Amino acid sequence: MGIRIGRSGVAAIVAVIIAAGAIGYRMVGASPPAGEAPWTGPSGSIADLEQHAQSAPDDAGAWQRLGFAQFDAGNYAEAANAYQHAVEISPGNAVLWSSLGEARVMASEHDPMPPAALDAFRKAAALDPKDPRARYFLAVERDLKGDHAGAIADWLALLKETPAGAPWDGDLQRTIEQVGQINKIDVSTQIARATANRPAAHPAGGMAIPGPSKEQLAAASSIPPSQQQAMAEGMVASLAAKMKANPGNVDGWLMLMRSYRQLGRDGEAKAALASAVAANPGRAEELRSAAASLGIAPGK
């Protein structure tokens, strides 16, 4: 789960830029791993996020952030409701559909794969066949229908594209092992093959978003509050200058976009996305997808 930071995200910005080389893998739009704090506005409370979403009914990112916060708090029905609003605003976003599907699964008290959840996962997969969460849950559906070998094959395909150390890596391997054991299917050799030559960066279906570790957040938080804002602003300005000098650094652009977002400078975040895409046209879709997970929509 993400670390909640009081007052503002300034300490997180400082930590992110201090840890410029530290990359945290995650399924775009999914609950971030420990050490990665999503932007949640000035206070980060669910009430404030809900008020912001209600005041910006056409902002899919606002509803997505509310959905994440509700899911993180265990309020799965409320999370599903927020993600439903988000997909109505942005129906072409696979991440939002798979988030909605997961929330519907968790909100279900009896059916392990409600039809509405399955529908959401199928829509996500149709929009983005590489969406990790949709792929995982669609394999769950195969397992529930009795196609255990097929489900394992799908999970192994996802595992093969999952970077070593990704937040869901261990859970995915345990799922494969447990389903294999229950159904007397030997999966040890297949897991070894799937993990032999995995990517070292950028998981399937999304990009890595730079994020601070707990230790880095603690170190940044130890800086006097009166100095944190000035330090963050100075670091962001320095990073922006570096990106002008080295526009091919995609991870740097992501860090800059995230920093602008946490400072509430949305216009500059959008401008950074446009500059990143212009400098890296071959990775335009990846950049837009990663930006969307931060709540940044391309500028018009």
pLDDT value at residue 32: 35
Own/partner pairs, 273-282, CB within 8 angstroms, 24+ separation = 273/298, 273/299, 274/298, 274/299, 275/243, 275/247, 276/243, 276/247, 276/250, 279/247, 279/248, 279/253, 280/247, 280/248, 280/250, 280/253
Nearest to 225 by CA among 3, 11, 5: 11
Structure tokens at 179: 């389903």
CATH of 39-127, one of 1.10.3720.10, 1.25.40.10, 2.60.130.10, 3.30.1540.20: 1.25.40.10
Contact residues for 231 (Cβ-Cβ < 8 A; gap 6+): 14, 223
The type of residue at 10 is: V
* CA–CA separation, 218 and 212 (whole Å): 10
pLDDT value at residue 255: 80
pLDDT value at residue 155: 93
* CA–CA separation, 26 and 165 (whole Å): 10
Instruction: Summarize pLDDT for 139-192 with one digit per residue, the tens.
Output: 999 988 899 999 999 999 999 988 776 767 777 888 899 889 888 999 999 999
Contact residues for 104 (Cβ-Cβ < 8 A; gap 6+): 76, 80, 114, 116, 117, 120
* CA–CA separation, 269 and 275 (whole Å): 10
The string of DSSP letters for 229-266 reads HHHHHHHHHHHHHHHHH-TT-HHHHHHHHHHHHHTT-H
Given a cut of 70, the residues of the chain with pLDDT beneath it are 1-44, 165, 167, 199-235, 299-300
DSSP state of 110: S
pLDDT value at residue 120: 97
pLDDT value at residue 199: 64
- Phi, psi angle pair for 209, to nearest 5°: -105, 120
pLDDT value at residue 61: 84
pLDDT value at residue 243: 81
Nearest to 49 by CA among 95, 38, 296: 38
> In the chain, what are the domain boundaries?
39-127
Nearest to 9 by CA among 43, 50, 60, 35: 43
pLDDT value at residue 80: 96
pLDDT value at residue 234: 66
Do 258 and 37 touch, CB atoms closer than 8 A? no
- Alpha helices in the chain, H assignment, sequence order: 10-18, 46-55, 60-72, 76-89, 94-107, 115-127, 132-144, 148-160, 169-182, 188-194, 214-221, 225-245, 250-262, 266-279, 284-293
- Phi, psi angle pair for 210, to nearest 5°: -55, 135
Answering whether pTM is above 0.85, one says no
pLDDT value at residue 139: 92
Residue 6: alpha-carbon gap to chain centroid: 21
